Structure 1
Amino acid sequence: MGYDLKMRIWRGDQEGGELGDYTVEVSEGEVVLDAIHRVQATQAGDLAVRWNCKAGKCGSCSAEINGRPRLLCMTRLSDFDAGETITVTPMRTFPVIRDLVTDVSFNYEKARQLPGAELGPRDDDGKRRMMQIDVERGQEFRKCIECFLCQDTCHVVRDHDHNKPAFAGPRFFLRYAELDMHPLDTHDRRVLAQGAAGLGLCNITKCCTEVCPEGIKITDNAIIPMKERVVDRKYDPLVWLGNKIGLRPRDYEGRMEVGEGPVRRP
């Protein structure tokens, strides 16, 4: 069953632009990206939109729909009333290239600043081993498709562009947390997370978690535990003393400083 959908789509470039009004025929079961493609095919052949898989796994078609950061391919038209006008705009946090396509190179610059895993020596048989529970601890974080919707909705850079040089954003705090949980990684990133990555600027509003299409609990499972580990290292006198005299970083009530599982750093 089809109906005529009213849409407002932002058209323009880095110099400026405006919302254009379109009416396009759509069918039951379609998503917003289908409607965008039909507008391209019938009314605006020069409309720029970035997309690839149309399956919610590549993260390419990020935009804002009625002001909310979402994937165009995963937002069903049935989520809206048939008579409702759907407004589609580019991600606000990043510079516009053209129409719905934004320049997300900020995120790749931040990725280059993050040190990769630094593994210690192999076992005598040339292999490295870890417990399955340690593998599973970071599995949630590896579901990230780098759609950068969490980066887009984070008000630290969304509303304050001058914070970008000092703030990595939730996508990369997720990566910091994943690497910090790696049982074989020998690199301590806590100082870097607090300093160059600007972890302290995050005030845990959970807006990043709310827009994540993979359902990753970015705030509760990555950012907050990372903040706790940074604070422990800097302000807990027992942890500070243990670091100074070379003790393994065990909590003095028998808990691990970095959560459950083996501690990897001296």
Structure 2
Amino acid sequence: MSTSTASNNYVADFRVWRGDADGGDLQDFKVEVNEGEVVLDIIHRLQATQASDLAVRWNCKAGKCGSCSAEVNGRPRLMCMTRMSTFERTDVITVTPLRAFPVVRDLVTDVGFNYTKAREIPAFVPPEGVAAGEYRMQQVDVERSQEFRKCIECFLCQDTCHVVRDHEENKAAFAGPRFLMRIAELDMHPLDAAGEAGLDRKRTAQEEHGLGYCNITKCCTEVCPENIKITDNALIPLKERAVDRKYDPLVWLGNKIGRRRTP
């Protein structure tokens, strides 16, 4: 190891939550840090040298699988994308599991809530009489959907949303920002034939998936590692369309006339 490289190494103070569903506590560790490393590197070194039974979920280490979600100094982050260089060498780095979900062990949480909500969202409804290979869309419509498709299912937005995080009783009625964004994506899709199939995505977003619980604090956008503008580009437009459908008297009248059958 060269002298210049060695001089960039140091020992950091880490506090890592250890425990399971029955309880736990923060434990203190001193761990070597090398130049260019991220928090996940330090957690791996901690496993290799001092806490071989430390449970942590990870996969790609490239910010694309969303597996290594945790809270670092209280902020929901991907550990593999949180560089140690963003902290002062004298800082104590605290790593805890996602607070909104039940702990399995150590830094691993049960995120099954999110998969339950995913299954509750009705899928894309293909347009009648158009084969899959014949779909045609304007580029602007593709770009709107593509932003939301960047989601890596890290569930950091779900974790930081105070409606989920601070009120366990809301989980039954609230899909959370990740899945309200999914509804918005489908509702914006020019080829989605949900309306023709009798499915009103705006109504179900409001009445079945808890859109009204969201008060657009933008905390979900702030923690998104893919920089998706969840609030501005998905949740607010969905709220606007849901309100128009429900309260605009002209829209209400138009819907009534449209549904009236001629004798």
Structure 1 length normalisation: TM-score? Answer: 0.90
Aligned to 2:117: 110
C-alpha separation between the residues in 1 aligned to 2:48 and 2:251?
A: 62
The equivalent residue for 1:237 is 249
Secondary structure of 2:228's match? coil
The aligned counterpart of 1:134 is 141
Structure 1 residues 107 and 124, CA, compared in 2 at 3 Å: closer, same or farther? closer
Please tell me the residue identity of whatever aligns with 1:154. C
Do the aligned partners of residues 123 and 93 (structure 1) sit closer, same or farther apart at CA in structure 2, a change above 3 Å counting? closer
Contact 1:51–1:61, Cα closer than 8 Å, also in 2: yes
Of 118-127 and 37-46, the range deviating more from structure 2: 118-127
Q: 2:177 aligns with which of 164, 170, 178?
A: 170
**Runs of 4+ with >6 A deviation:** none
Identity across matched positions, percent = 72
Q: Which residue of 1 aligns with 2:165?
A: 158
Amino acid at match of 1:197: H
Q: After superposition, give the CA deviation of every residue in 1:8-35 in whole Å (9 maximum; x if it has no partner).
A: 0000000000001110111011000000
Q: Distance in 2 between matches of 1:168 and 1:125?
A: 29
Q: What CA distance in whole angstroms lies between the structure 2 residues aligned with 1:94 and 1:176?
A: 22
CA–CA separation in structure 2 for the residues paired with 1:125 and 1:78: 48
Which ranges in structure 2 are unaligned for 5 or more consecutive residues? 1-7, 195-199
Which consecutive unaligned segments of at least 5 residues does structure 1 have? Answer: 248-266
**Superposed counterparts of 1:33-182, under 5 Å:** 33-123=40-130, 127-182=134-189
1:210 aligns with 2:222: yes
Q: Which residue of 1 aligns with 2:4?
A: none
Deviation at 1:131, TM superposition (A): 1.8
Q: Which amino acid aligns with 1:143?
A: K
Aligned pair count reads 247
AA aligned opposite 1:238: L
For 1:43 and 1:169, the matched residues in 2 are separated by 37
Q: Tell me, yes or no, if the aligned pair for 1:122 and 1:128 is still in contact at 8 Å.
A: no
Would you say 1:8 and 2:12 are equivalent positions?
A: no
1:227 and 2:239 matched: yes
Q: Which moved more, 1:145-154 or 1:184-193?
A: 184-193
Contact 1:8 1:22 (8 Å CA) reproduced:
yes
Quick one: distance in 2 between partners of 1:18 and 1:123? 57
Q: Alpha-carbon deviation of 1:133?
A: 1.9
Q: Are positions 1:27 and 2:34 aligned together?
A: yes
Report the counterpart of residue 252 of structure 1 in structure 2: none
Q: Distance in 2 between matches of 1:73 and 1:160?
A: 29
